[in-house]
Every structure is written in structure tokens, then in C-alpha cells.
Amino acid sequence: MLSFNLHRLRYIIILMIGMTSVSYGQTNLLKGWETNTEKALIELSEFKKGGPPKDGIPSIDDPKFITSDDADSWLAF
């Protein structure tokens, strides 16, 4: 019984640490930046987080490889 309670306590502590770490990391996204937001052309409230949904970027199933010698003709170096 004592072993079960210790495992339960361990999981609760890990969960609490994880929850506080996530909330602490998201408190102020501009903290640490030295950006003058008064000069912004677009209101910061207009920005929305997001991006493509899960599996929204297709995989490269059949990539084409070429040698570096062949790439020299079209690389800009």
C-alpha cells in the first residue's frame, strides 16, 4: 500500500512540475525582446498562432537526388 502511494505521489509531483513549466513559459511572449512595439505597422493583437494542421505538410515520398557536380550548374555559389 505504501509503495502505491509513493508512486501516486511521484506522478502528482511530476504532473505539477510539468503544468507549472508550461504555464511559466507562456506568460509573456514579448519578455526578453527589445522590440519597440509602438512602431508596429500591424497591431500585435492581429497575429494569430497556428500553422498547417496535423499532416498539413505533405511528405516527400520519392525524393530525387543529384550529385554535387550536377548541382554546380544551377547553384548560385
- What's the angle, vertex CA 70, arms to CA 65 and CA 76, rounded to 5? 105
Output the pLDDT for position 5: 80
Cell of 58: 505533405
In the chain, where are the structural domains located? 6-75
Output the pLDDT for position 4: 67
pLDDT averaged per 10 residues, the chain (length 77): 75 78 57 77 84 88 90 78
Output the pLDDT for position 61: 92
Q: What predicted TM-score, i.e. pTM, was given to this entire model?
A: 0.27
Helix (H), strand (E), coil (C) string for 1-31:
CHHHHHHHHHHHHHHHHHHHHHHHHCCCCCC
The per-residue DSSP string of 36-70 comes to: -GGG-SS-GGG-----S-TT-S---SS-----HHH
Taking the alpha carbons at both ends of the chain, their separation in whole angstroms is: 69
